[in-house]
Amino acid sequence: MVDTLSPSDRSKRMSRVRAKGNRSTEGHVEEVLRQACIAGWIKHPPNVPGRPDFFFPSIRLAIFIDGCFWHACPRCARRTPATRTAFWRKKIDGNRRRDNRTHRRLRRLGYHVVRVWEHELRLGRWIGRIRRIISPHAGAEATPHPMRSDRLSSSAMRLSFTSTRNPTASAAPTKMP
């Protein structure tokens, strides 16, 4: 497939892709977490290895939202661009290797690590994975919030819960039991 953009136009377009604050991925996750009244998370904490997209300090849960192209999703199997294929293969392979190193390091330090693929956001099942991790640690009730249920999407409604944990607890890593 031939790239229809000139090299300078392609460069301009690619320069606008940001590692954080992406509305279609991180923005969607943030919106669902807020709709579900899930509190206690922070975005891109500088003191946590890998700077996860979302982090719950009280339970040391790191959530990474991975773009299917940039992180080489095995399900989507997005094609490598036809131009500069060696560069793109090296770039995407480097991203995957870094992801694996970060995942192993966080696990060794006692963190829970969840990676959510971009395509999983459309399905809405990712929130169930988050719920299963948060519920036992936060003492949360998995019931819809009575005052907000009319405004919640079906996936967010299934996950609304009230946490009794202090969301400002220390993010210092300790070993998990």
Domains identified in the chain and CATH numbers: 20-159 (3.40.960.10)
Give whole-number Cα distances, 10 to 14, 70, 86, 87, 161, in Å: 6, 16, 17, 15, 44
Would you call 145 exposed, middle or buried from its count of C-beta atoms within 10 A (0-12, 13-18, 19+)?
middle
Q: Residues for the chain: how many in total?
A: 177
In this prediction the pTM is: 0.66
**What pLDDT digit, counting tens, does each position of 42-60 carry?**
999 999 999 999 999 999 9
Q: What is the pLDDT of residue 17?
A: 63
Residue bearing tokens 């293969």:
89
pLDDT in tens, 56-95: 999 999 999 988 887 888 888 777 788 888 888 899 899 9
The two three-digit tokens of residue 32, written as one number: 């669902």
In eight-state DSSP terms, residue 71 is T
Give 122-177 pLDDT, tens digit per residue: 887 888 888 888 887 655 433 333 333 333 343 333 333 333 333 333 344 444 44
